[in-house]
């Protein structure tokens, strides 16, 4: 079987989009399985630079089917805009299929999220503001609207009216203007439905057939393990399951069909939004890395918090997912450093800790324990063979492999497809 899951090993933005785009050239199917347009996956390929939010990063292979699976929450306005932008740049979207089971992000989800974030005050999560949390909350309380519901306008209108009444009640209860207009929402969403309807179907048969035929299937993770609703740094997480297991659930892929799980890690760390980040750099080195690496969010434009590679967190997420190997991206960003730190443990109240804490307030108190490695001060961005890397860079990669417990079979030395060192066939892993 050849179902490869590509999952973020840190707090997102590790370069999952690049890895998917690279591998999608030889895939038959690429599936986005969870999250929504909170994701921002940047792809740089011969067609240009693209920021994808809902459309799978396999869309540049016209022969692959790209599926938005039941576990995704879709903002139809945002999807419609994304499809239009791709088409305008000559990218065919004919291979796209949208599961009728996928839930929708409704305009009131964004309004509710804004209200909830401001009620949290200093404890705000720092969400992307895309209504993701309230959309998943409605799904779990079984009041959500699915994209397939758009295909039956009269039932859709009725359900929007019910949901809008409840949203207005909530807004009133927290002293806000009850600003949700059900008929405007129904009109607007039914107009998107006209353009999206050709893509919407029950995709379960397509996926099952591809699994049965042994086709090459890629599962595209969004967000990342440390933002996972169960295993991440709760409550500073997103609202979906971001792990390999979460992807199986969201896509409807049997767990036994997974042939390989690739963990994507940056050669350092970033995080957007609130929550502890023990190896965060709040000094000139952090500012240098942020500017040099253009660490600003693809979705919100916010400055990303930057820090050294956190091996405690990285090993935790490798274990949760059972990564077979890792894609270590952005090694080139460290090219100019004269020395590099890796966080190999934490200290809490004078005690050394090697396990990633489960409680946010404990993680907050963790101080990083660093190991220092020499830099290489040579450009790596044109290197295609591992053997050609400067010895210090190879040593850095080797140390990360040891600490994470998985081989770095893909190494990124730039955003383009060609700026990649392959140490195995990505579809079969190392033999
Ligand atoms: P994603 O959300 O995991 O897909 O990652 P993002 O696209 O949000 O952020 C990763 C950024 O790093 C994008 O701008 C990519 O083009 C870029 N990128 C990916 N791999 C590499 C690499 O190896 N080196 C460099 N310099 N940039 C990379
Ligand atoms: P990709 O797929 C980085 C973060 C937000 C916030 C928290 C909750 O590009 O890696 P949400 O809007 O999901 O309720 O916000 O999660 N977050 C991301 N951070 N990359 C992402 O996606 C993210 N998606 C959500 O910044 O801290
Ligand atoms: Mg991103």
Whether residue 96 contacts residue 55, with contact meaning beta carbons closer than 8 Å, is answered with yes
Pocket test for ligand 2, best of 38, 225, 234, 360 (most atoms within 8 A of CB): 38
Ligand 2 atom with least separation from CA of 41 = 9
- The pLDDT value given to residue 430: 61
Strands 96-99 and 65-68: parallel
**Distance (Å) from CA 329 to ligand 3 centroid:** 13
Whether residue 45 contacts residue 416, with contact meaning beta carbons closer than 8 Å, is answered with yes
Ligand 2 atom with least separation from CA of 129 = 12
**Distance (Å) from CA 13 to ligand 3 centroid:** 4
- Sorted by sequence, the CB contacts under 8 Å of residue 21 that are 6+ apart come out as 43, 45, 57, 58, 60, 417
Which amino acid residue places its CA nearest to atom 18 of ligand 1?
415
Which amino acid residue places its CA nearest to atom 2 of ligand 1?
13
Residue 40's nearest CA partner among 125, 132, 111, 112 is: 132
Residue 364's nearest CA partner among 342, 350, 348 is: 348
Which amino acid residue places its CA nearest to atom 9 of ligand 1?
13
- The pLDDT value given to residue 314: 98
Beta strands (DSSP E) in 179-231 are 200-201, 217-220
Separation of first and last alpha carbons in the chain: 16
Token code pair at residue 363: 């993680």
From the number of C-beta atoms within 10 Å of its C-beta (0-12, 13-18, 19+), residue 259 rates as middle
**Distance (Å) from CA 189 to ligand 1 centroid:** 33
* Integer Cα distance of 61 and 247 in angstroms: 21
Ligand 2: which residues within 6 Å by Cβ? 8, 12-13, 38-41, 125-128, 130, 132-133, 222-224, 227, 238-239, 272-273, 298
Ligand 2 atom with least separation from CA of 300 = 26
Ligand 1: which residues within 6 Å by Cβ? 8, 12-18, 40-42, 44, 298, 329-330, 332-333, 412-415
Residue 417's nearest CA partner among 113, 13, 14, 15 is: 15
Cβ-based neighbour number of residue 154 at 10 Å? 8
**DSSP bridge pairs for 353:** 346
Beta strands (DSSP E) in 190-329 are 200-201, 217-220, 258-266, 269-271, 305-307, 309-310, 325-329
* Integer Cα distance of 28 and 9 in angstroms: 25
**Dihedral of the CA atoms 226, 228, 230, 231 (nearest 10)?**
-20
Cβ-based neighbour number of residue 121 at 10 Å? 7
Token code pair at residue 332: 């080139």
The secondary structure of the chain in percent helix, strand, coil, rounded to multiples of 5, reads 40, 25, 40
**Distance (Å) from CA 415 to ligand 3 centroid:** 13
Whether residue 62 contacts residue 94, with contact meaning beta carbons closer than 8 Å, is answered with yes
- The pLDDT value given to residue 426: 84
* Integer Cα distance of 332 and 339 in angstroms: 14
* Integer Cα distance of 412 and 340 in angstroms: 17
Residue 161's nearest CA partner among 182, 190, 136 is: 182
Determine which helix (DSSP H) or strand (DSSP E) holds 73, and give its type and residue range: strand 73-74
Determine which helix (DSSP H) or strand (DSSP E) holds 104, and give its type and residue range: strand 103-104
Cβ-based neighbour number of residue 165 at 10 Å? 12
**Distance (Å) from CA 40 to ligand 2 centroid:** 9
Residues recognised as catalytic:
13, 41
Which ligand minimizes its atom distance to the CA of 302?
Answer: 2
Which ligand minimizes its atom distance to the CA of 19?
Answer: 1
The three-state secondary structure class of 389 is: coil
Ligand 1 atom with least separation from CA of 294 = 14
The three-state secondary structure class of 346 is: strand
Which amino acid residue places its CA nearest to atom 6 of ligand 1?
13
Pocket test for ligand 1, best of 17, 20, 328, 400 (most atoms within 8 A of CB): 17
Whether residue 29 contacts residue 216, with contact meaning beta carbons closer than 8 Å, is answered with yes
**DSSP bridge pairs for 221:** none
Which amino acid residue places its CA nearest to atom 27 of ligand 2?
273
Pocket test for ligand 2, best of 227, 271, 302, 329 (most atoms within 8 A of CB): 227
* Integer Cα distance of 341 and 351 in angstroms: 20
**Dihedral of the CA atoms 219, 224, 227, 232 (nearest 10)?**
90
**Distance (Å) from CA 18 to ligand 1 centroid:** 6
Ligand 2 atom with least separation from CA of 40 = 9
**DSSP bridge pairs for 265:** 328
**Distance (Å) from CA 416 to ligand 1 centroid:** 9
Chunked mean pLDDT (size 10), the chain, 431 residues = 94 98 97 98 97 98 98 98 98 98 97 94 96 98 95 94 92 88 96 95 98 97 98 98 98 97 98 97 96 90 95 98 98 98 97 96 97 98 98 98 98 98 85 49
**DSSP bridge pairs for 354:** none
């Amino acid at each position: 079987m050849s179902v490869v899951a590509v999952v973020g090993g840190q707090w997102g933005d590790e370069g999952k989009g690049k890895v998917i785009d690279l591998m999608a050239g030889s895939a038959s199917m690429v599936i986005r399985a969870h999250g929504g347009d909170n994701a921002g996956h940047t792809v740089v390929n011969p067609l240009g630079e693209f920021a994808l939010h809902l459309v799978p990063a396999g869309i540049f292979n016209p022969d692959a089917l790209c599926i938005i699976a039941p576990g995704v929450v879709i903002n139809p306005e945002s999807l419609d805009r994304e499809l239009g932008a791709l088409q305008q740049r000559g990218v065919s979207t004919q291979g796209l299929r949208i599961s009728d089971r996928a839930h929708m992000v409704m305009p009131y989800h964004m309004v509710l999220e804004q209200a909830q974030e401001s009620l949290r005050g200093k404890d705000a999560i720092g969400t992307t503001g895309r209504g993701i949390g309230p959309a998943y909350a409605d799904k779990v309380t079984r009041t959500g609207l699915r994209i397939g519901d758009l295909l039956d306008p009269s039932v859709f209108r009725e359900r929007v009216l019910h949901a809008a009444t409840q949203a207005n009640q909530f807004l009133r209860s927290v002293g806000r203007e009850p600003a949700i207009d059900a008929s405007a929402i129904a009109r607007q969403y039914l107009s998107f439905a006209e353009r999206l309807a050709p893509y919407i179907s029950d995709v379960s048969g397509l996926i099952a057939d591809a699994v049965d035929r042994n086709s090459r299937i890629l599962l595209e993770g969004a967000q990342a393990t440390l933002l996972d609703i169960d295993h991440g740094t709760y409550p500073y997480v997103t609202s979906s399951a971001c792990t390999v297991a979460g992807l199986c659930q969201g896509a409807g892929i049997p767990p036994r069909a997974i042939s390989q799980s690739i963990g994507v890690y940056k050669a350092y760390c970033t995080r957007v939004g609130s929550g502890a980040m023990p190896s965060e750099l709040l000094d000139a080195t952090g500012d240098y890395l942020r500017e040099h690496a253009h660490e600003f969010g693809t979705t919100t434009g916010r400055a990303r918090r930057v820090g050294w590679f956190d091996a405690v967190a990285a090993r935790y997420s490798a274990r949760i997912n059972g990564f077979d190997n890792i894609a270590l991206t952005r090694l080139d960003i460290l090219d100019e450093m004269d020395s590099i730190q890796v966080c190999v443990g934490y200290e809490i109240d004078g005690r050394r800790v090697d396990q990633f804490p489960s409680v946010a307030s404990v993680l907050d108190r963790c101080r990083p324990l660093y190991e220092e490695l020499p830099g290489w001060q040579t450009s790596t961005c044109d290197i295609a063979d591992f053997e050609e890397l400067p010895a210090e860079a190879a040593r850095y990669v080797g140390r990360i492999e040891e600490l994470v417990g998985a081989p770095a079979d893909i190494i990124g030395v730039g955003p383009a497809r060609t700026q990649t060192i392959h140490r195995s066939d990505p579809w079969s892993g190392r033999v």
